[in-house]
Amino acid sequence: MIHVICTITIASGRRDDFIAEFKGIVPEVLAEKGCLEYGPTLDVETDIERQAPLEGNVVVIVEKWETLADLKAHLVAPHMNAYRERVKDMVENGHLRITQPA
């Protein structure tokens, strides 16, 4: 199994627009071969001392894939290319952390 944590910094004032676009592709992604989990998350305020500072302009995508090949196919899927084009002006930067169970 492959785990993906995708951290995306969103342009000021565009977070809700980004989330709306993202939620629109979730059903297509969940239907892809090997997709086990795929969804956006936001920071939540807690009283846990070790929590990182809250970032209101960051969306963290949590994904799980059966195989690395499934993830690679997802990254070049036509609906993902179209989605990236729609959100390109909303995204300041992003990075992926790809892991597997220890």
Using 50, 70 and 90 to split pLDDT, how confident is the model at 100? very high
Confidence of residue 86 (pLDDT cuts 50, 70, 90): very high
| Phi/psi at 32 (5° precision) | -70, 150
Identify whether the C-beta of residue 9 lies closer than 8 Å to the C-beta of residue 57.
yes
Report the DSSP pairing between strands 2-10 and 35-41. Answer: unpaired
- Provide the residue ranges of all domains of the chain, joining segments of one domain with +: 2-99
Domain covering 2-99: architecture: 2-Layer Sandwich (3.30)
Residue with tokens 């993906």: 4
What's the pTM? 0.92
For residues 11 and 89, is the Cβ–Cβ distance under 8 A? Answer: yes
Length in residues, the chain:
102
